Chains A and B, each alone.
Chain A
Amino acid sequence: MKKNLVTAVLMTIATTILLGIVYPLVVTGIARVIFPDEANGQLVQRNERIIGSRILGQAFTGPGYFHSRRSAAGNGYDAANSGGTNLGPTNQKLIERVREDTASLQAENPGRPIPVDLVTASASGLDPHISPATAEFQIPRVARERGITEEQTRQLVVKHTVGRQFGFLGERRVNVLELNLELDSNYPLKETKR
Chain B
Amino acid sequence: MTANGWFQIAFFLLLILAVTKPMGVFMARVFNREKTFMDPALRPIERLLYRVTGVDENHEMRWTEYAVAMLLFSAVSMLVLYLMQRAQAFLPFNPQKLAGVAPALAFNTAASFTTNTNWQNYSGETTMSYFTQMAGLAYHNFVSAAVGIAVAIVFIRGLAWREVETIGNFWVDLVRSCLWVLLPFCIVGALALVSQGVVQNLKPYDTVKLIEPQQVQKADANGKPVVRPDGKPVMDKVTARTIAQGPVASQEIIKEWGTNGGGFFNANSAHPFENPTPLSNLIELFCIFAISAGLTYTLGRMTGSPRHGWAVWAAMAILFFVGVSVTYWAEARGNPLLPGGVDQRVSAAQSGGNMEGKEIRFGIANTALWATVTTDASCGAINGWHDSFTPLGGMVPLVNIMLSEVIFGGVGAGMYGVLIYIVLAVFIAGLMVGRTPEYLGKKIEAYDVKMAMLVVLVFPLVILGFSAISAVKGFGTSSILNPGPHGLSEILYSFTSQAGNNGSAFAGLNTNTLWYNTAGGITMLVGRFLMILPMLAIAGSLARKKYVPASRGTFPVTTPLFTALLIGVILIVGALTFFPALSLGPILEHLLMAAGKTF
Q: Least Cβ distance of A61 to chain B in Å?
A: 7
B416 within 8 A of A: no
Cβ-defined contact, A85 with B361, below 8 A? no
A144 within 8 A of B: no
Residue from B134, B211, B350, B385 within 8 A of A21 (CB atoms) = B134
Question: Chain B interface residue count: which class?
Answer: 35 or more
User: Which residues 204-232 in B have Cβ within 8 Å of A in the complex?
Assistant: 205-212, 214-217, 219
Q: Which residues of B contact A24 (CB under 8 A)?
A: 134, 138, 247, 250-251
Cβ-defined contact, A19 with B360, below 8 A? no
Q: Helix, strand, loop or mixed for chain B's interface?
A: mixed
B4 within 8 A of A: yes
Residue from B54, B73, B200, B211 within 8 A of A184 (CB atoms) = B211
Residues A123 and B197 in contact in the complex (CB < 8 Å), given A65-B212, A77-B214: no
A148 within 8 A of B: no
Residues A5 and B72 in contact in the complex (CB < 8 Å), given A10-B52, A27-B250, A38-B198: yes
User: Which residues 85-132 in A have Cβ within 8 Å of B in the complex?
Assistant: 85-92, 94-95, 98-99, 102, 105-106, 113-117, 119-132
B53 within 8 A of A: yes
Cβ-defined contact, A87 with B508, below 8 A? yes
B531 within 8 A of A: no
Residue from A38, A90, A126, A171 within 8 A of B195 (CB atoms) = A38
Tell me how many residues of A have a C-beta within 8 Å of chain B.
Answer: 109
Residue-wise, chain B 109-123 has the 8 Å CB interface mask toward A (1 for contact) of: 000000000000001
Cβ-defined contact, A136 with B206, below 8 A? no
Complex CA gap A62/B215 in Å reads: 10
Q: Which residues of A contact B341 (CB under 8 A)?
A: 102, 105-106, 113-114
A164 within 8 A of B: yes
Q: Least Cβ distance of A67 to chain B in Å?
A: 10
Cβ-defined contact, B247 with A35, below 8 A? no
Q: Which residues of B contact A19 (CB under 8 A)?
A: 138-139, 142-143, 178, 183
Residue-wise, chain A 164-194 has the 8 Å CB interface mask toward B (1 for contact) of: 1110111111000100110010000000000
Point out residues on A near B: beta carbons under 8 Å. 1, 3-12, 14-16, 18-21, 23-24, 26-28, 30-32, 34-35, 38-43, 49-53, 55-56, 58-62, 65, 69, 73, 75-92, 94-95, 98-99, 102, 105-106, 113-117, 119-134, 136, 164-166, 168-173, 177, 180-181, 184
Identify 11 residue pairs between A and B in the complex whose beta-carbon atoms are under 8 Å apart, listed by A's number: A19-B139, A55-B197, A59-B214, A79-B241, A86-B506, A90-B484, A99-B339, A116-B353, A122-B357, A127-B360, A170-B363
Name 9 extra pairs, CB < 8 A, besides A41-B201, A131-B351, A177-B211.
A12-B73, A27-B194, A60-B211, A81-B266, A82-B266, A88-B508, A89-B335, A98-B342, A121-B356
Q: Lowest 7 A-B CB distances belong to which pairs?
A: A170-B278, A20-B135, A123-B270, A20-B139, A86-B508, A88-B482, A171-B363
